[in-house]
Chain A
Amino acid sequence: MSHQAKPTIDTPKESKLFGTYAEFDNVDQLLAGCRKVRDAGYIKTDAYTPFPVHGIDKALGIKPTILPWICLACGLTGTSIALAMQIWMNAIDYPYIISGKPFISMPAFIPVTFELTVLLAAFGAFFGMLALNKLPMFSNPVFTDPRFDRATDDRFFLFVSAEDAKYNQASITKMFGCLGSGHVADIHEDTSSNTVPRPFFVIVGLLALFSTVPLLTLARMRVTNSGSPRFHVFYDMDFSPSKDAQQTTTLFADGRTMRPDVPGTVAVGQFNDSIDFYTGIDMNQLSMIDQPRATRLVRALLDEPANDESATEEPATEEPANESTMTPADEQVADEPIAEGSAVDAQDAAAAGVGAAAAAAIDKTPWLTTNPLPITAQSLENGRKNYEIYCAVCHGNDGGGNGLVNRRAQRILATAWVQPSSLHQDTLFAEQYADGKLFNTISNGIRKMPGYSAQIPTKNRWAIVAYVRALQQSQNASIDELPADKRSEVKKRQAEIEQRLREQADAEKKKAEAAANKI
């Protein structure tokens, strides 16, 4: 029963004494020992047990912990953080308007406030407990004695620290002996080396170094620009699977992404009971001069299959540029040898200086000479709008043939560029270039100009024709053609502008003189 002289571990004699313990195998003995030690006046005592022993706090004289207060403080911090966060985020920095409720609506903020209160209080309890217990602490003198391994199993240890004012090894050993302890021994400070092995630092250092690589890479990417496209780990919605207008698809037999009108239908607002309206040609007259062509045009409009005979008889000569933007119906309308060929001829003839009469003689098509659209301020305004959307980029807002695209093409010296026609040449005036023909040109294109029948509804194309006529007149009119009341206004404007120009010139002259005088 009496104690062994030394703990089984071979402790160097010079190592500092940590304390003395007694080992018990039941709770009752331990509690009795605790009370005895406490009554003997020892203060720096402790017991090591495999489970919390009821009543030991009193037996050893352990004071209550302040842990609950730490928890309360942490919990209140959580409450404050949650409320401040929600009020700041949802009411001040980025106020959300939800059903007209107040921005600071406490009932809605309760759940998150509660959760954060609990979370921080739980952190306070857990980490507070560890901090008060000075854990984690992996090196402890009690671990030097292998017998202590049973403190977490089935043995109970009573311990008196060597730092206690009353500590006396002999008397404590004697007292422990009287308590019925199975084993009494001293514990010495742990003298084993506490240097951390070198490889540990190497490994930790390398890991730390490598772990900075992704962060540094990200940081660098954030502050620098790159010419290469963004690296897509996930496509998100950056790339739409939908097709663009000119792409092909396998979904439809014809491979077209853009769908033609359903055969035999006319889009809402585009119906007109006169077929002339769609062709720009007096069809009655055409059927008298050229029956097959009239039939072909009507068939094309009604979207009936083309007659093989007429197709072989009269091979298509239309320009390839026209193909891409036209719906099938329009393509067949444009499949129009006389009109197309003669239009080109007429232009060429005009360019070559041949008389306009000669050019007109080649084109026998009975073009409509009057616009089927009623000409009103509204339709002209509609024409202007459509002209500025579709035509002005090339032909210019004034119709002079020097739109933005043309200017750009000239600046970059585009070789394949053909300058758009000026609309103010007399070959394009109504007398030589009928409204119907102009309509046909807009619809089906000419030379490099594509047809616009696919983009511009028929009515709007006629409106453009009307506007072009107005535009032509605006650039080629004398003041006498204006209404009397507008004339004086224009003259006044003119005088004003001239006056301003003169003043500007004078100012520049004076400046130059002043500069000369200075010298």
Chain B
Amino acid sequence: MSLAIPQGLDNTVERPGERAPLILGDSTTYTTVTEMVSQIAERPPGKAWMIGFVISATLASWLGICILYLFYMGVGVWGNNNPVFWGWPIVNFVFWVGIGHAGTLISAILYLFRQDWRTSINRAAEAMTIFAVVCAATFPGIHIGRAWLAFWLAPYPSLNLWMWPQFRSPLLWDVFAVSTYGTVSLLFWYMGMVPDLATFRDRSKNKWRRMAYGVLALGWTGSSRHWMRYEKAYAILAALAAPLVLSVHTIVSFDFAVSQVPGWHTTIFPPYFVAGAIFSGFAMVLTLMIPARHIFSLEKLITIRHLENMCKIILATGTIVGLAYGTEFFIAWYGQVGEEKFAFINRALGPYWWAYATMVTCNVISPQFFWYKPNRTIPWRIVLICIFVNIGMWFERFVIVCTSLSRDYLPSSWGYFSPTWVDWSMLIGSFGLFFTLFLLFCRFMPIINMAEVKATLAGQLHHHHHSDVDAH
């Protein structure tokens, strides 16, 4: 059984009255979908994977060494000092949490809106969420100074402190938000993978491999009763994750907005942060997916249409972010608070003007190239623009954290933040950790949601044949 969709079809063109196919290839069947995805984990890794893994594992190890060094020496090894005590660890934290948001958005919000094109990309995007949250959670964990006492953040009956956490602090909300987000994303990701892990199990020739995937697949059989409850659970998780993802970056923005620091104390922060998070997350998804799609020959499943749709979301959110930058300036002028006005003038023209210029160039100008269709459909151009967006979004967090803290109310305590080699190592190392986890995921887990792709294929087939046997 095959689908009669020509291989060379451009599925980015909208034809009235016809739904553009999401899966390409004349001979694409359920069998070939399974084959295409499973062989990635079944064959020995290719050269590209090995090189990538060695590099990122080295960087991740370097991050580990830097963390040990930090524990041994104390937080003085960072550039954090009066008045910029938050420094890069918090910049990196906000950056990575933001990256994670695209995964949840794709898997939850696009699911609720019945956007079928999510099916080819949601698994990898969800995995990216988990790994980004791992990277993000590392930074506040080590930023607290005495990381071995991180459990003090939890509301447990302490015999030493005899006190409870302060529930009116956004920093504590953050603990709950990020840990809930990590947990729910993990459940969502894992639950979505169970049927595909069962596929891996059933394809295993090796006894140990079969046992390992068998344990992970929890004894999944594909029973219709199971599917029915599974789909219900999936829908509920999606419905829970959608507001959750909005709440997480809202609460992260509260860390700033609830304080009194000029440039932070604004009500625009929650929507502005959420838009920025989705913006940066989609850029990261594309940065990862385009090489992965090429290396693992998944062009038929992750089509140009998928990439183009994501580019459109980047264009939309990037424009929202640009609007937010403008609104901030307008409100700073309209509010007529001296410190606030100064904070924004200082942001754009002060000692960090170069960071602000980088941010605006990368975040506001670079996504505008997506108005031009070839930029949305030629993969290397997409990757290039997305890398600029990633850089820009890191700088956005840097600008917010450092410009406001370095020059607030009291000019006598102004300062200038300079990173140390440990700051640099940890930023680069966190990318190493992220890519290491992602490459391991590519190697051992189903990187595309086979079950959902087959369901989409079934729908496409159904449409294509205009068969209406099923009178439901």
Contact = CB atoms under 8 A, between A and B. Distances in A.
Interface in B420-448: none
A126 B469 contact: no
Given A119-B180, A128-B233, A152 B168 contact: no
Interface residues of A, number: 74
A122 B224 contact: no
Contact of A150 (B202, B230, B452): B202
A57 B467 CA distance: 20
Interface string A127-139: 0111011011111
Contact of A153 (B30, B231, B247): B30
B31 A153 contact: yes
A49 B146 CA distance: 52
B227 interface: yes
Contacts of B229: 65, 67, 129, 132-133
B168 A111 contact: no
A121 B236 contact: yes
B455 A51 contact: yes
Determine the main DSSP class of B at the interface with A. helix
A356 to B, nearest CB: 65
A129 B71 CA distance: 42
Interface stretch (A88-96, A382-390, A414-422, A465-473): A88-96
Interface in B275-295: none
A51 B247 CA distance: 32
A208 to B, nearest CB: 19
A92 B195 CA distance: 48
B233 A125 contact: yes
B40 to A, nearest CB: 15
A62 B227 CA distance: 11
A283 interface: no
Contacts of A132: 229
Contacts of A129: 191, 229-230, 232-233
A39 to B, nearest CB: 13
- Residue among B148, B166, B219, B467 with most chain A CB within 10 A: B219
Interface in A1-55: 25-28, 31-32, 46-55
B228 A65 contact: yes
Contact of A51 (B71, B166, B454, B470): B454
Interface in A81-122: 85-86, 89-90, 93-94, 96, 98, 101, 105, 108-109, 111-112, 114-116, 118-119, 121-122
Contact of A108 (B168, B195, B230, B454): B168
B267 interface: no
Contacts of A160: none
A64 B29 CA distance: 31
A118 B221 contact: no
Contacts of A119: 180, 183-184
Nearest to B162: A94
Contacts of B450: 50-51
B331 interface: no
Given A89-B155, A151-B221, A236-B146, A50 B164 contact: no
B226 interface: yes
B387 interface: no
B202 A122 contact: no
Contacts of B230: 52, 129, 133
B236 A68 contact: yes
B419 interface: no
Nearest to B164: A89
A200 to B, nearest CB: 12
Contacts of B254: 111
B177 interface: yes
B185 to A, nearest CB: 10
Contacts of A58: 472
Given A111-B173, A119-B184, A122-B187, A152 B166 contact: no
B163 interface: yes
Interface stretch (B17-25, B237-245, B314-322, B363-371): B237-245
A133 B225 contact: yes
B66 to A, nearest CB: 17
A60 interface: yes
B454 A138 contact: no
A123 B203 CA distance: 30
A488 to B, nearest CB: 58
Interface string B447-460: 00011101100110
Interface in A403-452: none
Q: How large is the interface on B (under 10, 10 to 19, 20 to 34, 35 or more residues)?
A: 35 or more
Given A118-B180, A118-B240, A233-B148, A90 B164 contact: yes
Contacts of A115: 173, 176-177, 180, 244, 247
Interface string A51-78: 1111111111010110110010000000
Contacts of B222: 48-50, 151-152
Nearest to A135: B218
B122 to A, nearest CB: 14
Q: Among A85, A154, A233, find the residue whose CB has the most chain B CB atoms closer than 10 A.
A: A154
A25 B1 CA distance: 9
Nearest to B219: A137
B141 to A, nearest CB: 15
A68 B222 CA distance: 21
A153 B202 contact: yes
Contact of B470 (A55, A108, A114, A138): A55
A118 B31 contact: no
Contacts of B198: 152
A153 B199 contact: yes
B250 to A, nearest CB: 8
Interface in B143-185: 146, 148, 155, 163-168, 170, 172-173, 176-177, 180, 183-184
Contacts of B223: 46-48, 133
Contact of B221 (A32, A96, A112, A142): A142
A105 B220 contact: no
A108 B167 contact: yes
B165 A53 contact: no
Contacts of B188: 122
B38 to A, nearest CB: 9
A154 B220 contact: no
A162 B315 CA distance: 58
A149 interface: yes
B120 interface: no
A133 B164 CA distance: 40
B58 to A, nearest CB: 28
Contacts of B100: none
A482 to B, nearest CB: 57
Contacts of A68: 232, 236
A109 B167 contact: yes
Most chain-B Cβ atoms within 10 A of its Cβ — which of A101, A115, A128, A129?
Answer: A115
Contact of B1 (A26, A50, A60, A62): A26
Contacts of B94: none
Contact of A122 (B146, B177, B226, B240): B240
A89 B168 CA distance: 11
Contacts of B224: 46-49, 52-53, 56-57, 60, 62
Interface of A: 25-28, 31-32, 46-60, 62, 64-65, 67-68, 71, 85-86, 89-90, 93-94, 96, 98, 101, 105, 108-109, 111-112, 114-116, 118-119, 121-123, 125-126, 128-130, 132-133, 135-140, 142-143, 148-154, 233-234, 236
Given A60-B224, A98-B166, A111-B173, 20 more contacts: A50-B450, A51-B458, A52-B228, A52-B455, A68-B236, A89-B164, A111-B176, A111-B254, A112-B172, A112-B176, A115-B176, A115-B180, A119-B183, A122-B188, A125-B236, A126-B237, A139-B219, A153-B30, A153-B203, A154-B29
29 contacts: A50-B454, A51-B450, A51-B451, A51-B452, A52-B224, A52-B227, A53-B458, A54-B472, A65-B228, A67-B236, A85-B155, A86-B167, A90-B164, A90-B167, A90-B168, A108-B167, A111-B177, A114-B243, A115-B244, A118-B243, A119-B180, A121-B236, A122-B183, A125-B187, A125-B237, A126-B191, A138-B215, A154-B34, A234-B148
